[in-house]
Amino acid sequence: MAVNVVAWADPVRQPEPGRLRAWHLVCPSDSLRRGQVMGFNLGGRELVLFRGQGGGVFALSAHCAHMGTHLAGGDVVGDCLRCPLHHWRFDGSGACQADVGGRPGQRPFPVVERFGAILVFNGPVVLCPPPEVGAADLSWRIGSEVTVSCDWLPLVANSFDIEHLRTVHHRELWDTPVLERLDPFTLRLRYTSRVTGSGASDWLMKTLSGNRIRVTITAHGGTLLSVESDLGRTRSALVAGFRKTPEGMAVRLAFAARRGRIPGMDRLSLAVSRWLFTSFLRRDLSVLHGMRFNLSGAAEDPILRQLMDYTASLPEDRDDERG
């Protein structure tokens, strides 16, 4: 396999996913209505989300700078979040909107909406832009969380494991895979495969693609993973967000398909995209269940070796930034 190998990082040091300075998928966009407040935990850091009456979404540190009240119990007034204790109001930038100046504000966190989901950057300063996946003519639908009983690294590595395409997914490559480190936060793998399986989803993939499937897999900051599939006749995409739980890793998937020109076709295209992706990914669940990832074993594969180097280099937030 003709893949350039970069220097191997310390195989022991791998980051904690919840502390990665990157964009994290928090929840579906439609789960936060106008005027609604929601608390959430991001790698041990407590934050609140709220959607202002103007429709914008904002994220602030959870405990009021005045006396420490948890702002998830507050309410939205216009485009401000009002503390439930003394009714201090904080706008989306965290500034306190009070008649008396000089009052402390809340720490804000960058927020964007992509793929039918709300993404929050884990840190006060954005280090990389939010990912753009697929073309503008794709429509998105986000699914519910699924918990996989393994750690974060096996989930990420599974998507870059070329050998398991043959053994688990019944795929063979048409050409040599291309691995690119686009920037410090982005690692991309491209390959073209053909189907050797005989299941229903395998048959449909052959029919749609002429058995030539161009795949692009991208890791975005270690917290988001995208898969873009070009079948010739149609295109589809997937974005996965990871969240650590006591039971393992919670994975939330957003599916995309090309918008149709015929009324009702969007829903059908999304349903087909979701079925094809979930049929493909379902084969991994039993393999990943209870997996204890062997870093030295991964180092024997040139692509996985570069993936481990990538993940080991990702920045984490510091304890002095977590106030």
Domain end, chosen from 67, 87, 121, is at: 121
CATH at 37:
2.102.10.10
Q: What string of pLDDT tens digits covers the 323 residues of the chain?
A: 334 333 334 444 678 888 999 999 999 999 999 999 999 999 889 999 999 999 999 999 999 999 999 999 999 999 999 999 999 999 999 999 977 777 899 999 999 999 999 999 998 889 999 999 977 778 899 988 989 999 999 999 999 999 998 999 889 999 999 999 999 999 999 999 998 888 888 888 888 888 898 999 999 999 999 999 888 777 889 999 999 988 989 999 999 887 766 656 677 777 778 777 887 788 888 888 888 888 888 888 999 999 999 999 999 886 656 55
pLDDT confidence of residue 2:
39
Domain enclosing residue 249, as ranges: 138-313
For the record, the structure tokens of 219 come out as 């890791």
Q: Of 89, 121, 153, which residue constitutes the final position of a domain?
A: 121
Q: Are residues 170 and 298 in the same domain?
A: yes
Residues 46 and 98 in one domain: yes
Same domain, 117 and 146: no
Q: What is the pLDDT of residue 51?
A: 98
| Domain at 224, CATH number | 3.90.380.10
Q: Is residue 183 part of a domain?
A: yes
Shared-domain flag, residues 110 and 153: no
113 and 143 both lie in a single domain? no
| 173 and 267 inside one domain | yes
In the three-class reduction of DSSP (H, G, I as helix; E, B as strand; rest coil), residue 171 is classed as strand
Q: Exposure pattern of 57-74 as b/e (b: 16+ CB <10 Å)?
A: bbbbbbbbbeeebebbeb
Q: What pLDDT shows up at residue 4?
A: 38
Q: Rounded to two decimals, what is the model's pTM?
A: 0.89
Quote the CA–CA distance of 320 and 323 in Å, as a whole number: 7
Within the chain, where are the H helices?
152-160, 163-167, 200-209, 265-288, 295-298, 302-313
Residue after which a domain boundary falls, among 62, 94, 121: 121
Count of domains for the chain? 2
**Given this model, what pLDDT does residue 319 score?**
60
